[in-house]
Amino acid sequence: MASFFGEVLAPRSRIIDDEDLDAQEESYCDEFKISCAPFKEKNLLIICEGNLASIYSKLGIEESQFCGDLLAKSFNQDVAIGKIIRGSDYTIVSCEHELKQQEFLILANTILGLADSGCNIICITSRHISEYRVDELDGEEPLVRSLASKSFAQSDAIKKLEMPNILTGLSSAVLSISVVKGMPCLLLVSYVDLLTADSISLQGFQSLHKIQIVQGSSLQKPNIAEALKSKQLFKNTNHLYI
């Protein structure tokens, strides 16, 4: 699949040196599934990649909405790597664990199997600010960018990721597949100074609620600081920005 500057770099196989025994022996998961009953989301599927996005996905969510786990088969055992959350008109899938390159497309296809025809797909993820490539930072906070497939109705709600920035990972794999299949998909990436959860590092994800399909759903915009405290998702109570 082609690579595009300022867009998505699809996962590619790594060339392995014959002498690199560690790389040759490296294993990866080739099977993923969900633990809840099969379903198809018709309206809105939100995919949360990484620790920060996964924490944000739980804010303002009732315990009754957690319907199952995202599972990876490892050494013949199912290991939970994320959560499945369902609302009346949306589904959230979180992936909290780091993945290997070979796993991106496999898991992306598994998650997209939950989307019915015409379902809107939004991926949210974060990257360290050092990965953002631009001639000069203008102090914009939060720093949030997006990429979208042509069929996504409101692709201009969030600033587009500029060239020569490149994204890899689960979110980019989901967007790549969506582009090929003509599925409406938007990827939102928040660039942060710290990859630990607080009201500052999670703030960029509130741009999600600028998108019309999200505004029209029952998904509520959380008060981050209050939600972190109430759910006890934040362990360092001495942090300045809780």
Residue 1 lies in a domain: no
- The answer to whether residue 134 sits within a structural domain is yes
Q: Does 189 reside within a domain?
A: yes
Nearest alpha-carbon partner for 148 in 140, 157, 139: 157
The verdict on residue 210 lying in a domain is no
Peptide bond into 142 cis (omega under 30): yes
237 belongs to a structural domain: no
Q: What is the pTM of this model?
A: 0.85
Asked whether residue 207 is assigned to any structural domain, the reply reads no
Residue at 122 is within a domain:
yes
| pLDDT per residue of the chain (242 residues) written in tens, 0 to 9 | 434 445 555 444 333 344 444 444 467 888 999 999 999 999 999 999 999 999 999 998 999 999 999 999 988 899 999 999 999 999 999 999 999 999 999 999 999 999 999 999 999 999 999 999 987 777 788 999 999 999 999 888 899 999 999 999 999 999 999 999 999 999 999 999 999 999 999 999 999 999 999 999 999 999 999 999 887 654 443 443 44
CATH of the domain at 171: 3.40.50.10900
Per DSSP, the residues of 195-218 read SS-STTTTGGGGGGGGSHHHHTSS
Is 173 domain-assigned? Answer: yes
Residue range of the domain that includes 26: 21-202+216-231
The count of domains in the chain is: 1
Q: Which two tokens stand for residue 117?
A: 């025809």
Largest CA distance in the chain: 55
Of 216, 235, 234, 215, nearest to 224 by C-alpha is 234
